[in-house]
Amino acid sequence: MKKVSLYGCLFWALTNVAVAQNCDLVYDEYDSLMNKQFLLQPEKFVKVQNNRLSPQDLSKLQKNKFLLSNQHKGLGIAIVQTNKNKYGKLLFSWRRTKDRGLLLVIKEATLFGRVNDGARPKNLKNINIKSSYTLDLDTGKTGGSNADIWFHNVNGKEMYIEAINGAKIKFPISSLCKPKFATLTAVLPKFQAAQFNSAGKNDKRLKQIVKREILPNGNVIINFSDKSKIERFKGGIKRTPPNGQPTTMLFSTAAPAAFPVGDPDDGERFFLELHRGNLLNIIHSLIGDPVQVQQFIDSSDNSGNIYQSIMTRSDTIQKLVAP
C-alpha cells in the first residue's frame, strides 16, 4: 500500500499578513481603502501632513508611496472636510499652460453626504484652479466666500494647495499597504493531515485528527480517530490513549516576553488589530465552534495589552496545530 502524507504550514507576519490580505485584493488604495473611518480620521491609520502641501512636498512625501492604478500614479492625495462639514477625498496635480499659466488641477474629488455608508456622493472631475484662486468643494465652483481650498501662489516658485475658511485638508504621507515598523515573522510547526491509500481513500488504521476543542482557560484538546486525545496546557501536555489511562508530562517554560508598556501609535494599532483579527479567524477555522471560542476570549484573552493578546492567540494556534 502506498501512503501519501499531506503537510501544511501556517505562516504569518506581525503586520504583513493583515495588510497583504487587503492590498492583494485591490488595485488602488485610494479607490478601495481610503473610505469611511479613513475619511474622518486618516491620522489614525497613516501619517499625514496637515493644512497645505507644495509641489516639492508632493514629490518628497507622496510620490511612489501608494498602491495606485496607472491613471492615478503621480497625483497628490488629499482628505478633506469642507466648511459645510462634508467629508471626502481628492486627487490633484499642478500643470503649467501657455495661455493660462500655472494651474492647480483637481483631477477628481468625491464628497459624501453621509460618510459611514457612503450616501449621497458628489463627484467632481478636472477642475482647473488658476493661480491665487479658490474652489468651493460643496458647489464645485471656483471663488466665493465659502471656498474650501486655495491655490496659494506665494511668488511663482513657492506655492501650495491649502485649506481656507474653516475647511480642513490632510495629506496622507504613508501607505495603508506599507507599514513603517519592523516585521516579525512566526512559523508554526508542521502538522500531518489525513493520510490516504493508493485508491485515494482514508486509511482507517492511521490516526487522524477528528476534532479540536478549546477550553475557557486556554487549554486545547485534540481528539483523534482512534479515540485517543491530547490536552495541551501551559507548562505541560496530557496524553490519553484509547484505553483511557492518561499520562502527563510537565516542562519548564521560558520567562514571558516583555511587552511594550505604552500603547502603539494610531498607525501601528490599525495593522496590529488587523493581525489580531486574522489570528482569531484562524482559531475559529480550527475549532469550528463559536461558543467555545468566545468563552476562551472572555476568560483567557481579555488583556488590555494588544501585544499580549496577539501572543495569546499565537500560542493557542501553536497548541492547536502542533504534532
Tell me the domain boundaries of the chain.
4-13+181-321, 34-172
Q: Decide: 293 and 283 in contact? Cβ < 8 Å.
A: yes
Using CB atoms within 10 A of its CB, is residue 255 exposed (0-12), middle (13-18) or buried (19+)? exposed
Instruction: Name the residue type at position 295.
Output: Q
**pLDDT (tens place) for every residue of the chain, 323 residues total:** 333 333 333 333 333 333 333 578 889 999 999 999 999 999 999 999 999 999 999 999 999 999 999 999 999 999 999 999 999 999 999 998 888 888 999 999 999 999 988 999 999 999 999 999 999 999 999 999 999 999 999 988 899 999 999 999 999 999 988 543 333 334 444 344 444 444 555 555 567 889 999 999 999 999 998 889 999 988 889 999 998 889 998 876 555 556 666 677 766 777 788 888 889 889 988 998 888 988 998 898 987 788 888 989 998 998 898 76
Q: Decide: 166 and 149 in contact? Cβ < 8 Å.
A: no
DSSP state of 51: S
- Grid cell digits, residue 182: 519592523
Q: Name the pTM for this structure.
A: 0.52
